Amino acid sequence: MSFSREDVRFLIEHCDQIAAAAGEIELTKKSAIADHKKLHGLFGDHTRAVMELIQARRTLAPKIGEETSSHWLADSDSAQQATPHAVAQIRAERIARAGASFVHDVTCSIGTEAHAMTESGMDYLGTDVDYTRLLMTQHNLRVRVPQSFRASGTAWVAQADALSPVTTPASCPGPHIRACSGSGPGRVIVADPARRADGRRITDPAKLIPPLPDLLDAYPGAALAIKCAPGIDYSDWHGLVSVVSVDGGVKEACLYTPDFADHHREAVVIRDGFTETVTDDGGTVDVDKPKSFIIDPDGAIVRAGLVQQWGARHGLTMLDPHIAYLSGDALPDGYSGFPFIEQVPLKKLRPALQAHGAGALEILVRGVDVNPDQLRTKLKLKGSRPMAVVIARVGDSATAFICGARVR
């Protein structure tokens, strides 16, 4: 649901009370009636909005942190599309390195880019056509995000259509219009078009909301960073495509104009304790028989088409030149893999697994028409040993690589 202006003002006024009440409800299908009754006793006619906010905050928590999300305002849709703070930081650092001093976020929604941009020393203007989103953004800008937050830029919000520019390359908002200094692009336009319609993911850039071609036409010659779903066709994009994952989940493909990098493809892997960036100017790898471990590359690396470059960096080989599984004598730091045991034709998988006493089984498949859940049922394993099987098309044959359980 979307909030009315009255809803947002009520939520702001009762923000701390709602945060306290959130710990007293479960928000499950089973608890729905009891939850509604409890909240109605506290918030009356605004109960529906309060329940929506609590659910949205739970969606936001993994993205911006539990403590911060407990004080932010968001509805379900904005929480679903909100950018994780770790991803926003990567973008802000890139934009700042390019020499930008001012970021205009033309689809700011609830403001998840703002803190990272101002922390990186840039001024920030967030605009959106939805006035209730702007009310939420104003509130959210006053909430500190990470413990290390040190804002050095200034942030404003205003109502505007993303396709009707309200800034120019040489202007910044605020009490006085001033030139954006620096040797870089000065003003950078950030956009996050809606990627879903009627509950379905949009994969055609021309059908994003607003459409990608329309955004490009609205800001000719501007330095742009446009967030898109990782599954879109970006083959015709002439700038940088940066595919980003967090803890193994691919979050976005950000399209940057050539102002920001000399390379054209990169994968940014953000995991607990480290960040790795892989670009398309790396090397290639050989195809060889399996070594000590079989490794499934991070989804960002696969989506960016940089499996060989990543493999070359870590001294790995490929099982097949067309399939994104790698092998090596050691696991790259920060990644998981499977201790290799033996390779068998797919049709001989069941007796081979039975011989190893396999029980619980993790199944990975690429290049072969196999449904892991259906295969697991069909195998009817009765052993007790946790194992894994990697199924891939090697040459013209469907091959199963039997492995021990995943290790990190």
User: Quick check: 118 and 155 in contact, CB under 8 A?
Assistant: yes
Domain match, 18 and 41 both: yes
Domain match, 42 and 154 both: no
Domain match, 105 and 209 both: yes
Residues 370 and 363: their CA atoms lie apart, in Å, by 10
Domain match, 92 and 25 both: no
Domain match, 74 and 91 both: no
Strands 200-201 and 123-128: unpaired
Domain boundary among 50, 79, 108: 79
Q: Is pLDDT of 230 > 90?
A: no
Residue 237 inside a domain? The answer is: no
Residue 408 inside a domain? The answer is: no
Domain match, 339 and 397 both: yes
Residues 316 and 285: their CA atoms lie apart, in Å, by 7
- Note if the pTM is more than 0.95: no
Categorize the per-residue pLDDT at 174 as very low, low, confident or very high, splitting at 50, 70 and 90: very low
Domain match, 216 and 92 both: yes
Categorize the per-residue pLDDT at 178 as very low, low, confident or very high, splitting at 50, 70 and 90: very low
Domain match, 207 and 108 both: yes
Q: In percent, how much of the chain has pLDDT > 90?
A: 77
Domain boundary among 229, 252, 282: 229
Domain boundary among 181, 198, 229: 229
What local confidence, expressed as pLDDT, does residue 2 receive?
81
Domain match, 317 and 371 both: yes
Q: What is the mean pLDDT of the chain?
A: 90
Strand partners, 342: 402
Domain match, 90 and 222 both: yes
Domain match, 14 and 75 both: yes
Strands 323-328 and 293-295: antiparallel
Residue 261 inside a domain? The answer is: no
Please state the domain count of the chain: 3
Q: Is pLDDT of 350 > 60?
A: yes
Residue 321 inside a domain? The answer is: yes
Neighbours of 62 (CB within 10 A): 13
Give tens-digit pLDDT for 10-53: 999 999 899 999 988 988 889 989 999 999 999 999 999 999 99
Residue 270 inside a domain? The answer is: no
Give tens-digit pLDDT for 368-380: 999 999 999 999 9
Residues 231 and 113: their CA atoms lie apart, in Å, by 22
Residue 223's domain spans which residues? 83-229
> How distant, in Å, are the alpha carbons of 295, 323, 346, 402 from that of 399?
16, 12, 5, 10
Domain match, 191 and 219 both: yes
Residue 322 inside a domain? The answer is: yes
Residue 343 inside a domain? The answer is: yes
Residue 330 inside a domain? The answer is: yes
Give tens-digit pLDDT for 269-315: 999 878 999 999 878 899 999 999 999 999 999 999 999 999 999 99
Categorize the per-residue pLDDT at 176 as very low, low, confident or very high, splitting at 50, 70 and 90: very low
